C-alpha cells in the first residue's frame, strides 16, 4: 500500500500553474524527470485528464512505489528506470519526439531521506551507501576507502563548499589506515572531532561533507549539466520546463542553462536583431522563485528550494 503522507510535493500548486498552459490540451506529454514517489506526477494526472506522463527515476524502490500509486491512470503512464541525463534515449524508446512539459525536482527524494538504511542522513547511523540507484557500484564507503587525500579534498571543496576540506580529508586518510569507515556515525564522529567548537555552533559540521559525498556517488552535477540541455531540446514550441533546485551548485547549472537558452543569438554590434537570432526560450519567473513562508512552515523540505522556469518560443531554423 502506498502511503501518500510520506511525501509532500514541494511548490506543487505553483508548478502546476506554470506548466498548465502547455499541458491543457489533448495529447500533451509531461516528463517528470525525477519521479520519486510520484507526488507531483499524481497531481498532474488528476488535474489534466488527457495528459500522458513519462516518469524517469534511477531509484528502483521509488519506481515500485510510483507504479503502485499511478496504477489507476493505466496506459497514460510510462515509467522508465534511467538517470535523467539519458532523457533523449528514454523518449526515443517510447517513440516520442517532442514533449509539452518537463519537471525536474532535484536533490535527494523523501524516500531516500526517510529510509535510514540508504545512508543519506548524517543524523542517523547507517551504512555509508548514498546511492540513488542501488544497482550502481560506487558508494560513499568506497570513496572514503579508495580516494586519495587530494581527491577527497577536491570533492569536499567543490561539491560541499567546505572550508575545512583539507583537514577533513587528512583525518579520513589517517583514520582509514587503522579502521575502515563503513557507518555514517563513524564519519560524523570523525568530522565533529576535527571541527572547531566555534564552527560547530554555526551548523552541523557533517552537513557539507555528506552533501559532497552524495553528489560524487551519484555524479549529480555532471548528470544535471547534460540533462538540462537535452530536456530543453525535446520541448515543442509552447512547451514549458520547471526546475526545483535545493542547493546553490544545482541552481547555478540550471540558471546558466536557461539564461543561455533565453538569450539572443545576434552578433555583438548588429543594429537589428534578425528573426533567426531571436531567443528560442523566454524565462517565466524573474530570478529564482522561493516557496512561501506558509509552505516552508508546513513542509520544511521546501525551505531551500529555488524554482526556475522557461517556455520555448520557437525552434532554430
Q: Is 39 annotated as a binding residue?
A: yes
Measure CA 55 to chain center: 14
C-alpha span between 249 and 135 (Å, rounded): 26
Helix (H, G, I), strand (E, B) or coil at 292: coil
4/110 Cα distance (integer angstroms):
11
Measured between alpha carbons, how far is 148 from 146 in angstroms, rounded to an integer? 6
Distance CA 308, CA 248 (A): 13
Q: Annotation-wise, does 84 bind a ligand?
A: yes
> Is residue 38 part of an annotated ligand binding site?
yes
105 is in an annotated binding site: yes
Distance CA(315)–CA(290), nearest Å, equals: 30
Q: How many CB atoms lie within 10 A of CB 267?
A: 9
Max Cα distance, the chain (Å): 68
Per DSSP, helices labelled H in the chain are 12-23, 39-47, 60-70, 87-93, 110-114, 140-146, 149-160, 165-176, 184-193, 197-200, 207-218, 220-234, 248-261, 293-298
The answer to whether the CB of 212 falls within 8 A of the CB of 160 is yes
Count of CB atoms situated within 10 Å of the CB of 315: 11
What CA dihedral angle connects 281, 284, 286 and 288, to 10 degrees?
-100
Binding residues: 38-40, 57, 84, 105, 112
Binding residues for S-adenosyl-L-methionine: 38-40, 57, 84, 105, 112
Amino acid at each position: 500500500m502506498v502511503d501518500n503522507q510520506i511525501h509532500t510535493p514541494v511548490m506543487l500548486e505553483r508548478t502546476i500553474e506554470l506548466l498548465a498552459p502547455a499541458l491543457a490540451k489533448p495529447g500533451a506529454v509531461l516528463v517528470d524527470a525525477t519521479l520519486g514517489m510520484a507526488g507531483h506526477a499524481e497531481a498532474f494526472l488528476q488535474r489534466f485528464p488527457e495528459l500522458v506522463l513519462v516518469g524517469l527515476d534511477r531509484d528502483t524502490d521509488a519506481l515500485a512505489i510510483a507504479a503502485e500509486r499511478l496504477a489507476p491512470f493505466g496506459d497514460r503512464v510510462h515509467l522508465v528506470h534511467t538517470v535523467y541525463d539519458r532523457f533523449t534515449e528514454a523518449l526515443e524508446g517510447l517513440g516520442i519526439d517532442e514533449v509539452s512539459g518537463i519537471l525536474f525536482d532535484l536533490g535527494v527524494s523523501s524516500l531516500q531521506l526517510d529510509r535510514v538504511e540508504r545512508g543519506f542522513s548524517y543524523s542517523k547511523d547507517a551504512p555509508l551507501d548514498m546511492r540513488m540507484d542501488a544497482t550502481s557500484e560506487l558508494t560513499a564507503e568506497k570513496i572514503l576507502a579508495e580516494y586519495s587525500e587530494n581527491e577527497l579534498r577536491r570533492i569536499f571543496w567543490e561539491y560541499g563548499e567546505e572550508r575545512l576540506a583539507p583537514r577533513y580529508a587528512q583525518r579520513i586518510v589517517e583514520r582509514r589506515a587503522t579502521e575502515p569507515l563503513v557507518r555514517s556515525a563513524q564519519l560524523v564522529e570523525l568530522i565533529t572531532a576535527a571541527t572547531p567548537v566555534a564552527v560547530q555552533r554555526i551548523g552541523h559540521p557533517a552537513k557539507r561533507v555528506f552533501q559532497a559525498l552524495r553528489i560524487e556517488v551519484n555524479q549529480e552535477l555532471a548528470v544535471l549539466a547534460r540533462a538540462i540541455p537535452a530536456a530543453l531540446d525535446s520541448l515543442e514550441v509552447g512547451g514549458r520546463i520547471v526546475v526545483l533546485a535545493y542547493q546553490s551548485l544545482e541552481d547555478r547549472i540550471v540558471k546558466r542553462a536557461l539564461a543561455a537558452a533565453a538569450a539572443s543569438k545576434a552578433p555583438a554590434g548588429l543594429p537589428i536583431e534578425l528573426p533567426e537570432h531571436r531567443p528560442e526560450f523566454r524565462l517565466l519567473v524573474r530570478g529564482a522563485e522561493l516557496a512561501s513562508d506558509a509552505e516552508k512552515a508546513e513542509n520544511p523540505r521546501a525551505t531551500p528550494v529555488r524554482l526556475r522556469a522557461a517556455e520555448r518560443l520557437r525552434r532554430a531554423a
